[in-house]
């Protein structure tokens, strides 16, 4: 039996991470993510876990990658400025397929921006932030309860697919308190990375068969694992610049292992009243709650509105969205930035469909009435 | 010479280093020191950043992590804290650990975490083609100081000592046996140990500064190197242009970070039980 508890989003994130088996957290304080670090510093040592306050965010993600290679389940938490600093090491974790969870609690940018104000302007950065080709895995909860469950799912995906997973939410969700249902530990599905069973001499840290993920040995177990940020083959040792196939196969693998398994347990989204929707609202996180209220209000006025809410933001469920979108005449994107989700859905929009953008970046949340007005405007469109 | 030592500790030869490069001497001193110790080789992890020097891990038959430029110490800190049983050795260059990674270096020293950091100090950025680094002597010609370098250099031993490292030494490729012994002491030391390995880059620094060839560069060290003991009796004028080598700090009184953290865990547990 679980229980109902009241907590903030940041508290839910820290508690869920520990429930998922996280035993190593390294971080650097930053509004609006700091409470995650604070709670980890209190709770982790009680269970022999490690909390480390590093000298900066570059060191924080470096330390968790190292700890993951030594066998721990790991997490760091930050906001835009720190997330920007982490990008180079994030790429290192991708190319070496190191499981780790990175929380980006979005505040208004760019730069220092407005530290205490919410935003949703890191959507694209979580997909493209680091240089080079790689496949991002990003989850975007919209409530305190979903922060709890999605944090656990983020760990499961990271361990299963051996790569970084980003948990993305904003300053409002971070700091607001909600009543949530917390399941008992034995009711929660927890996935741990698979460990090698082969002879130690035969172990390769990577497997580049398309959808496979190699088991991950830990440092100190005698496997003599080789990790390198240079383009490497399955042994982990660098590939020569003349070996074009070798240089390509690693990239294929980073994409295939996610794309080939996408429909199994990576894809996730919520739909609300989409079956006959003329106007489809697309929104994530805290804004999607205003959007849902706006859709309900539109329905009361006789407008056939619906909501499409990605929970796995990246990779975006283009196929499903296109199918759902077939019947609608207009799309409304509602987001706390100057236009990012609209660039995602535009790929799936027919030239006969209208796109109405509701953007806000003055530090306020988008009200349901404002989204309702966008729905009404979109509904006027004659195809 | 026993060749076994190579097949036992290295996965492949030759290395990518230029003829006359000091990195091979340092790598050899490292594996010879390990060969003389009674370590569980499965529990030794090498971590490096980016640079010619950091490439050393690509030849080692151990658990290895070749990380990003300057970041080796941060990754190594995570490895050590995740499993304090491991011997974690960082291989780095003067640019890697003192420029882009300088912040991680001083904070690792401050914590006195049990890592061994071995810096192959060739006074320039080798991998990118010979630009000046934070240890390039004033007046040197490099690819980015063709009129003579003008930035004051760091003395990495002074830096790590003041930042709190509990073992600080300088060794030189000119004295490989002594280098091996110093590295052995560093690895055996509990707490942060830092070894600055004075080395040469004949292909870039040597060529640009018209120091003839690798053999000539090596012979120049003969007059420049003075031991800590010799230096004690020398005036500051006499010490001009000299490089002091030996063990500057070997202090077992400072508590090591993993032990400090273990006390934090005890306190946390008391707080929930009490
Ligand atoms: C973030 C980043 N900046 C710059 C570089 C380019 N780079 C590669 S190695 C290097 C300098 C290496 O110098 P040092 O650490 O002294 O090592 P050496 O090659 O001399 O052994 C630089 C600047 C890089 N790889 N990454």
Q: How many domains does chain B have?
A: 1
- Residue B13 within a domain: no
B15 lines ligand 1 (CB under 6 A): no
Question: Checking phi first, is residue B60 left (phi over 0); if not, alpha (psi -120 to 50) or beta?
Answer: beta
CA-CA distance, A315 to A150, in Å (whole number)? Answer: 15
Name which of A323, A274, A125 is nearest A282 in CA terms.
A274
- Is the distance from CB of A378 to CB of A280 less than 8 angstroms? no
CA-CA distance, A36 to A51, in Å (whole number)? Answer: 11
Residues spanned by the domain of B98 = 20-273
Residues 6+ apart with CB under 8 A from A243: none
> Residue A26 and residue B78: Cβ atoms within 8 Å?
yes
Radius of gyration (Cα) for chain B, nearest Å?
Answer: 19
- Residue B11 within a domain: no
| Domains identified in chain A and CATH numbers | 3-187 (3.40.50.970), 268-379 (3.40.50.920)
In sequence order, the β-bridge partners of residue B45 are B63, B88
- Residue B47 within a domain: yes
Query: Following CA atoms B116, B118, B119, B122 in sequence, which dihedral angle do they give, to the nearest 10 degrees?
Result: 170
Go through A130-156 and write b for each residue having 16 or more CB atoms within 10 A of its CB, e for each that does not.
beeebbbbbbbbbbbbbbbbbbbbbbb
Q: What is the pLDDT of residues A21-71, one digit of tens each?
A: 999 999 999 999 999 999 999 999 999 999 999 999 999 999 999 999 999
Greatest CA separation found in chain A?
69
- Residue B8 within a domain: no
CA-CA distance, B194 to B92, in Å (whole number)? Answer: 11
- Is residue A63 less than 8 Å (CB to CB) from chain B? yes
- Ligand 1, residue B50: give the atom nearest the CA: 9
- Lowest-pLDDT range of A199-213, B68-82, B99-113, B150-164: A199-213
- Residue B7 within a domain: no
- Is residue B85 less than 8 Å (CB to CB) from chain A? yes
Q: Which helix (H) or strand (E) element contains residue A177? A: strand A177-182
Q: What is the pLDDT of residues A231-277, one digit of tens each?
A: 999 999 999 999 998 899 999 999 999 999 999 999 999 999 999 99
- Is residue A56 less than 8 Å (CB to CB) from chain B? yes
Contacts of A56 in chain B (CB under 8 A): 103
What CATH number does the domain containing B122 carry?
3.40.50.970
- Is residue A133 less than 8 Å (CB to CB) from chain B? no
Q: Which helix (H) or strand (E) element contains residue A3? A: strand A3-8
Q: What is the mean pLDDT of chain B?
A: 97
Question: Chain A interface, mutation test: which of B41, B46, B82, most A Cβ atoms within 10 Å?
Answer: B82
CA-CA distance, A306 to A118, in Å (whole number)? Answer: 25
Select the residue of A60, A70, A92 nearest B83 (Cβ to Cβ): A70
Closest residue in B to A49 (Cα–Cα): B265
Q: Is the ipTM of this complex over 0.90?
A: yes
Q: How confident is the model at residue B2 (pLDDT cuts 50, 70, 90)?
A: low
- pLDDT surpassing 80 at residue A210: no
- Residue B194 within a domain: yes
B71 lines ligand 1 (CB under 6 A): no
Residues 6+ apart with CB under 8 A from B152: B138
Tell me which of B26, B51, B52, B122 to substitute to probe ligand 1's pocket, judged by most ligand atoms within 8 Å of the beta carbon: B51
At A105, phi and psi to the nearest 5? -90, 110
Percent with pLDDT over 70 in chain A: 100
pLDDT (0 to 100) of residue B1: 45
CA-CA distance, B27 to B10, in Å (whole number)? Answer: 10
DSSP string, A181-236: EE--GGGS---------S-GGG--S---STT-------TTSS---EEESS-B-TTS
Percent with pLDDT over 90 in chain A: 97
> Residue B58 and residue A228: Cβ atoms within 8 Å?
yes
Helices (H), chain A: 9-19, 34-43, 57-69, 80-85, 87-95, 123-128, 144-161, 171-175, 244-259, 285-300, 318-325, 341-345, 368-379
């Amino acid at each position: 039996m679980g229980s109902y508890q009241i907590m903030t989003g940041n508290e839910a994130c820290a508690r869920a991470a520990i429930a998922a088996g996280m035993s190593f957290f390294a971080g650097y304080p930053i509004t609006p993510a700091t409470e995650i670090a604070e709670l980890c510093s209190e709770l982790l040592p009680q269970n022999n876990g490690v909390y480390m306050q590093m000298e900066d965010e570059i060191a924080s993600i470096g330390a968790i990658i190292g700890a993951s290679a030594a066998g721990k389940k790991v997490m760091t938490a930050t906001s835009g400025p720190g997330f920007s600093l982490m990008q180079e090491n994030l790429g290192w974790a991708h190319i070496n397929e190191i499981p780790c969870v990175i929380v980006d609690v979005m505040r208004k940018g760019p730069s220092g921006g407005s530290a205490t104000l919410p935003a949703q302007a890191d959507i694209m950065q979580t997909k493209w932030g680091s240089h080079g080709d790689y496949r991002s895995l990003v989850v975007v909860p919209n409530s305190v309860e979903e922060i709890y469950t999605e944090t656990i799912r983020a760990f499961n995906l990271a361990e299963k697919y051996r790569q970084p997973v980003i948990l993305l939410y904003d300053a409002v969700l971070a700091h607001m308190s909600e009543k949530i249902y917390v399941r008992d530990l034995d009711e929660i599905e927890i996935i741990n990375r698979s460990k090698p069973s082969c002879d130690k001499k035969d172990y390769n840290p990577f497997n580049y068969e398309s959808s496979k993920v190699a088991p991950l040995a830990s440092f100190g177990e005698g496997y003599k694992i080789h990790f390198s940020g240079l383009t490497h083959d399955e042994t982990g040792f660098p590939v020569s610049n003349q070996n074009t196939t070798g240089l390509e196969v690693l990239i294929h693998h980073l994409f295939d292992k996610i794309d080939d398994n996408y429909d199994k347990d990576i894809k996730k989204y919520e739909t609300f009243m989409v079956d006959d929707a003329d106007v489809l609202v697309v929104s994530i996180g805290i804004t999607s709650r205003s959007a849902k209220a706006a859709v309900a209000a539109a329905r009361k006025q006789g407008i056939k509105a619906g909501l499409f809410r990605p929970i796995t933001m990246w990779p975006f469920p283009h196929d499903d969205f296109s199918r759902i979108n077939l019947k609608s005449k207009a799309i409304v994107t509602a987001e706390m930035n100057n236009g990012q989700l609209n660039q995602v859905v535009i790929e799936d929009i027919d030239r006969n469909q209208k796109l109405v953008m509701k953007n806000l970046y003055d530090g306020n949340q988008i009200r349901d009435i404002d989204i309702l007005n966008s729905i009404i405007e979109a509904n006027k469109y004659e195809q | 010479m026993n060749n076994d030592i190579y097949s036992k500790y290295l996965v492949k030869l030759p290395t990518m280093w230029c003829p006359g490069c000091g990195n091979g001497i340092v790598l050899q001193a490292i594996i010879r020191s390990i060969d003389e110790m009674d370590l569980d080789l499965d529990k030794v992890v090498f971590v490096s950043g980016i640079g010619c020097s950091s490439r050393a891990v690509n030849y080692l038959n151990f658990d290895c992590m070749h990380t990003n430029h300057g970041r080796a110490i941060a990754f190594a800190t995570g490895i050590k804290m995740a499993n304090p049983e491991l011997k974690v050795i960082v291989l780095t260059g003067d640019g890697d650990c003192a420029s882009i990674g300088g912040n991680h270096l001083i904070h690792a020293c401050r914590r006195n975490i049990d890592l061994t950091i071995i810096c192959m100090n060739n006074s320039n950025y080798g991998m990118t083609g010979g630009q000046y680094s934070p240890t390039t002597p004033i007046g040197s010609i490099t690819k980015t100081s063709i009129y003579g370098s003008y930035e004051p250099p760091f003395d990495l031993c002074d830096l790590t000592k003041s930042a709190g490292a509990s073992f600080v030494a300088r060794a030189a490729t000119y004295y490989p046996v002594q280098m091996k012994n110093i590295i052995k002491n560093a690895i055996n030391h509990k707490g942060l140990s830092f070894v600055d390995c004075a080395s040469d880059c004949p292909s870039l620094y040597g060529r640009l500064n018209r120091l003839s060839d690798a053999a000539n560069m090596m012979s120049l060290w003969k007059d420049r190197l003075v031991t800590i003991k010799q230096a004690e009796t020398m005036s500051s004028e006499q010490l001009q242009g000299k490089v002091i080598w030996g063990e500057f700090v070997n202090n077992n009184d400072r508590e090591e970070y993993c032990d400090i953290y273990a006390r934090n865990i005890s306190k946390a547990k008391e707080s929930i039980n009490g």
